Structure 1
Amino acid sequence: MKNRKVFFTIIAFIFVIIIPAVVFAEQTVPIPKIGLDIGTSDNPKDVSSSIQILLLLTVLSLAPSILMMMTSFTRIVIILSFLRNALGTQQMPPNQVLIGLALFLTLFIMAPVGKEINDNAYGPYSKGEITQQAAIDKSSAIIKNFMYKYIYEKDLALFVSLSGGKTPVKKADLSNLSLTVVIPAFLISELKTAFQIGFLIYLPFLVIDMVVSSTLMSMGMMMLPPVMISLPFKILLFIMVDGWNLLTKTIVNSFVR
């Protein structure tokens, strides 16, 4: 009798566990499946859409490099980093804020270049008026013209000579130069310009540090860190001259030629 009760208890337990599982399993939402197939198509638009998706994924994967190497982002973020170091505020503003500000200033500065590429390259290509290679060539020419405005002739001549080309290079010969020559020349020119502006940013704050340090030494307060005293004065000076407005205006105007 006891064994029979145990048997029925086990059977009831199995039904309680299995039957709800089966019922709920039938009500589950099917998991979507995403596949990438390569095949033939009789419709040219299907092929064009696939190529556009492939190009988009390629551009997105290279977006950070494009942003840093071919736009004004490098100069802006270095100048903002110099400002933070000159103020001596360590992590204020945070890196996320500086990079965000640099990103939106880059979008603002590069907007005319993007519009020109859209009007002369991407727009005609999307309408079928020009070929893909023609669109790429026009886009490259527009970007090279932008970068050429801010490249020092010495830097461009360096990479032209390293690539085995002839120097000096004039703007009329720019179409013959590849991006592998123009981009590194643009980068080191941007670094040079950013360091020059950073030096000018450092000067007023360096004067404050020297005045505070000499004052503390004359008062015999050698154990008191000068940075602790000079930091409020540097922040006050930056606020009084409306530093963010002035610095932003300087950065944007440095790209107007």
Structure 2
Amino acid sequence: MTALRVTALVAALLLSGPAFAQGLPALTITESTGGTSYSLSLQILALMTALTVLPSLVLGMSAFTRIIIVLSILRQALGTQQTPPNQVLIALALFLTFFVMQPTLGTLYAEALSPFLDGRLAAEPAIERGGAIMKEFLIANTRQNDLLMFSDLAGAGPYEDPRDVPFSTLLPAFMTSELKTAFQIGFLLFLPFLVIDMVIASILMALGMMMLSPMLVSLPFKLLLFVLVDGWALTVGSLAATYGGQ
């Protein structure tokens, strides 16, 4: 909670003039033997701060990045322009992310969030437990080469225990690993549709139909192939299976 304390201190310093001296008695941090308690104003400040970084957390600490990139490449390979639309792809990626992350989120709730809400665990130990749980997921899905690269760039490591890896090193390594994996999956998805485009283009050229777009002719065949192999279920199931250990 060091960042939260620093935020509270900065806010208090900025608003510590005479005009605000009587207006901020609730912006306090109370230390006791049972832990650290924060006033209602400080809790609201922490909540608003958390809401601003929530999109970054969803992108950087979950399976969302890999899923949305693969779905976008798949749409481009099909050549369907904006079908399905971006809203549908994002919704599908979010729901699939929740499905993939459900075991990790369930453990996070049971071991960190629920004890904190029930008053059985203070804020700082709860955050430490939650961070350790998220590190297990991130490290399990991060390539060792990427983790070593960012450890060398930070001038730290090697680490004896995965739990010792700081988030400042783990998060960029995880994002880099996710991007690499997503493009590898996208390449494999692109190949069969590329073959169809090449075959259709060769046939049209042999027939002398230079003015007819190969993309327009190949689109029905690509859609037919995708439907016959149950492409959406295959793609979504394969993406979820890449996180099968979680």
Look up the equivalent residue of 1:225 and give its one-letter code: S
Look up the equivalent residue of 1:38 and give its one-letter code: L
Q: State whether residues 26 and 39 of structure 2, in contact with CA within 8 Å, keep that contact through their aligned partners in structure 1.
A: no
Q: Within 5 Å, which residues of 2 pair with 1:105-254?
A: 105-167=96-158, 169=159, 173-254=161-242
Find the aligned partners of 1:59 and 1:74 in 2 and give their Cα distance. 20
Find the aligned partners of 2:110 and 2:186 in 1 and give their Cα distance. 36
Q: State whether residues 197 and 215 of structure 2, in contact with CA within 8 Å, keep that contact through their aligned partners in structure 1.
A: yes
Tell me the CA shift for residue 48 of structure 1. 5.2
2:25 pairs with 1:39: yes
Find the aligned partners of 1:67 and 1:41 in 2 and give their Cα distance. 29
Find the aligned partners of 2:59 and 2:215 in 1 and give their Cα distance. 33
Q: State whether residues 27 and 41 of structure 2, in contact with CA within 8 Å, keep that contact through their aligned partners in structure 1.
A: no
Q: Within 5 Å, which residues of 2 pair with 1:65-144?
A: 65-144=56-135
- Local SS of the residue matching 1:256: coil
**Cα deviations across residues 94-145 of structure 1 (Å, max 9, x unaligned)?**
1111011101111111111111111111112222322211111111111111
**Cα deviations across residues 26-73 of structure 1 (Å, max 9, x unaligned)?**
xxxxxxxxxxx532499x8x9554444333222211111001000000
Look up the equivalent residue of 2:25 and give its one-letter code: G
- Local SS of the residue matching 2:161: helix
Find the aligned partners of 2:143 and 2:38 in 1 and give their Cα distance. 43
State, as a whole percentage, how many aligned pairs show the same letter: 48
- Local SS of the residue matching 1:93: coil
Q: Which protein shows a greater Rg?
A: 1
Provide TM-score, normalisation by structure 1: 0.79
Look up the equivalent residue of 1:71 and give its one-letter code: S
Look up the equivalent residue of 1:147 and give its one-letter code: L
Find the aligned partners of 1:148 and 1:94 in 2 and give their Cα distance. 33
Between the two proteins, the alignment pairs up a number of residues equal to 217
Q: State whether residues 27 and 42 of structure 2, in contact with CA within 8 Å, keep that contact through their aligned partners in structure 1.
A: no
Correspondence for 2:16: none
Find the aligned partners of 1:87 and 1:214 in 2 and give their Cα distance. 18
Find the aligned partners of 2:167 and 2:195 in 1 and give their Cα distance. 42
Provide TM-score, normalisation by structure 2: 0.83
Unaligned runs of 5+ in 1: 1-36
**Cα deviations across residues 168-207 of structure 1 (Å, max 9, x unaligned)?**
x4xx522222111000000000000000100010011011
- Local SS of the residue matching 2:196: helix
Find the aligned partners of 1:81 and 1:48 in 2 and give their Cα distance. 45
- CA-based RMSD of the aligned residues comes to 2.0
Q: For 2:45, which of 41, 50, 54 is the aligned residue?
A: 54
How has the CA–CA distance of structure 1 residues 131 and 217 changed in structure 2, closer, same or farther, with 3 Å as cutoff?
same
